[in-house]
Structure 1
């Protein structure tokens, strides 16, 4: 994520801000330019304070406090690129559900930002049977017997809204023995399944994928049953990014994809803030935007010292490691493959 400053007064602002706390201008995100801009009223619409020629409306979800993205004044849709992907949102008749939905949207908007920066196709699914398109269903359990399972099916990503409850998420993390579990991590994992279908399935990359991740034609349901019925191999991190990645080649891809997105977004933030590590033992200069870097070796060589430094900062505050994973050489190859498939740093 880039560092943004108010285009009116220069005050540093967060990506989610809808008002500058220094100059009180309204703020909105223009995803076509990746700009967070200060706004002023202009003939029943908004324009940038420094550019009166382009007129915007806020996304319709702005009235709920869940979105600060802009749409052109002549847009056919009342929703922004990110909110247009929603198919089902939670019942908003309770303050608890409203708060959960807002946390979900914060994570989802950051996901969509990264997908757009990767220049991947992002479009709403019009019909459930369409081969392409993304739809999000954010749902609550109907009863203890009818639980909503988070997952992906043909571009439809379902999220149980209890994942927006920190206590429930921590409970699941402990029960499943996971090192890391966040809303944004869920989104990045599940969207990885979608982009496997878009980028790998029936593509020239399929054979190389199978060499690195394994044969996805093995029975998926049986593989998951085996995974949950048995202990993860003790040496899983020799070739996998997480224990769950050992379950099936599809899950290995989705887990690795999520970590690739973690790395790219975090390195962009570090680059935007001008962060460099000057210790001789782990010296690195995060000197350019990772989304313009075609050489993955440069990315991973910047990631190692950054992760070590931030892990150390977290420990100084008494928190768990920021990035509690070891990246083995086979995992680096998988990450590099994803970087290649996404075509980062190259014209598309």
Structure 2
């Protein structure tokens, strides 16, 4: 799936609304970790929390799925990719990561995704990237080294870091697939809410096989959990995770990607890491050291530079060829002509 690489949505109508949607998505996603961690600490397995989150959201979105049932026939590859990567993959890796490392650190690692999008452009779409893009990647990697405090012999759990990186890889799929078919000129763009609904349904099926919820300690949901010394009903936290941090977050995120571009929306989405870190500090009492705070800022700066540096087409012919590929199915082979891998037109979080 070609990624839009120019500042596509910057001059379009409703740009302010699109940025508002992206900010809303970042706020909603940012609150998921601080609500999930007390449930995990109360005795639920990370995969069980993920299953509750995705399955609950799938039930909420079931009427939308019924309304857009034609998507199963028209866009099966898109729905499958969204279910496996954007829903099951991101959530499973992220929740497993926060069970081993602080929420803020997990999100900062996850937001290496912008640099990975750049790698997609360079090595999959076979387009050159600018020197500024390379600088952005180096900044992100250097900031990550500070976040994990490599000089102290990896202060954080190595498996937790690998899981967070897995979430980053899946998030690349989230941005790319959310942008799929978003070009208004195509005229056949799949409805974003329908894509979300079937992504959640498919993700719930996959996670059911992995999480085996029949083994879950359901009694945890009937009691209270501890949030930095305060008792909070577990069902209240679950409601927040399902309705706000999943349904609302995905809906606003995909709508924002469609109106902006994966690159611009990704810049705004980086605020999710900051939001989650602040919430984890206030609500969970998780404190980061000064080098980790500085490193987190450098990671975000590197992600911003990397995304802003993706090159635009070099010729009008390239733009025209790219626009013709805007509706390419994500499962189809990447185009051989580099110009074809660069769709134009107006475009998430």
Structure with greater proportional strand content: 1
Fold in common (TM above 0.5): no
Structure with greater proportional helix content: 2
Higher relative contact order (CA 8 A, sep 6+): 2
How does the TM-score come out when normalised to structure 1? 0.29
Point out the structure with max Rg over C-alpha. Answer: 1
